Structure 1
Amino acid sequence: MNILVEIVGWTGALLVLGAYLGVSSGRLTGESAAFQWLNALGAAFFVLNTWWHGAIPSMVLNIIWSGIGFVALWRIARRDRGVRE
């Protein structure tokens, strides 16, 4: 189980790093679904890893971070369907 949790954690790190690299290089925007998916999933993967290791402050941060990303994805989906808020 330890190795699975570590793989999930490292995958989360790569996803968040990829999002940051994409925005910093101009390949993604903060409003793109790809950026939000990378961040939301990366943070969600960090939640499992930080919980496993007992890093509660980091876990709470990543729950919030993931939530922000999934709310942004919901708004992007609504925008793309032409639904007004």
Structure 2
Amino acid sequence: MKNFIEIIGWIGSLEVLVAYALNSYQKIRSDSPWFYFLNLTGGICLVIYTLWKEAFASAFVNIIWVLIAAIAIGKLFITQSEKR
């Protein structure tokens, strides 16, 4: 189980970093579904990892990160459905 959680932590870290790098190099926009998706899933992975490690301050930051991404995705879907 420990190795599985470690892998989840690494995946989450990579997803958040990839989202940031792609946005920084203007490969994706900060309001794109991919940016939100990478931040949401990366954040979820990091929440699991930090809770496992009992790093509660980091878990708190990642929970907020996930909430921000989830709200942004919700707004994106609402905006897209209004355009139809």
Partners of 2:48 and 2:57 in 1: CA distance: 13
- Structure having the higher helix fraction is 2
Letter in 2 for 1:33: P
Letter in 2 for 1:15: E
Q: TM-score, normalised by structure 2?
A: 0.95
Partners of 2:65 and 2:9 in 1: CA distance: 15
Q: TM-score, normalised by structure 1?
A: 0.94
CA deviation after TM superposition for structure 1 residue 50, in Å: 0.3
Per-residue CA distance 1:22-55 (angstroms, 9 max, x = gap) = 1011011111110011011101100000001110
Q: Show the 5 A alignment for 1:43-82.
A: 43-82=43-82
Q: Which runs of 4+ in 1 moved over 6 A?
A: none
- Runs (5+) with no aligned partner, structure 1: none
Partners of 1:14 and 1:30 in 2: CA distance: 17
Letter in 2 for 1:73: I
Superposition CA RMSD, Å: 0.9
Q: How many aligned residue pairs are there?
A: 83
Partners of 2:67 and 2:30 in 1: CA distance: 15
Q: Show the 5 A alignment for 1:1-85.
A: 1-82=1-82
